[in-house]
Amino acid sequence: MFAIFAAFFGTIACADAVLVTSALRTWSGLEEPSPYRASQRYNAELRAARAQSARGWTLASTAVREGRADAALSVTLRDGAGAPLEGRSLRARLERPADKRADLSVALAPAGRGTYAGRLAGVASGQWDLVVEVVEAERLAFRRRHRIILD
């Protein structure tokens, strides 16, 4: 009877150990290192969002798979009247929704008429958040986040 009892609880303890180890190895940590500091920036974030909306800019993006592991990214930026915005400094990131360790940065270069393009190597398939930021005078002027799926 003791052997059956020990085997039962030993099996459960081993399964728990495997699951806890797997969870600790795959979780990248907190989204925000200091939630208190993030709460202190909340009003500034609201002001920045209002300023971004007041600009009336629109951003359209496409991500296309090239080969098995590469991807091409194209972003078009327009003002409130629909005119292309050229000569801007853009930066972009592909962020994994569930694992921040897999995030990738991409340099976007002007490709003409408000379009900016970049290429990424070694991009895994699946869901990604595409974050595009426009920087003016060392300050963030515009940020847009899109969910994309790369097959």
Dist. CA 130–CA 96, nearest whole Å:
9
User: What is the reported pLDDT for 99?
Assistant: 79
Question: How many domains are there within the chain?
Answer: 1
pTM of the model: 0.74
Is 115 within the bounds of a domain?
yes
Domain harbouring 131, CATH code: 2.60.40.1930
Q: Which residues of the chain have pLDDT under 70?
A: 28-30
Q: How far is CA 148 from the centre of its chain?
A: 10
Is 30 within the bounds of a domain?
no
Is 132 within the bounds of a domain?
yes
Domain limits for position 141? 57-150
User: What is the reported pLDDT for 24?
Assistant: 81
Is 120 within the bounds of a domain?
yes
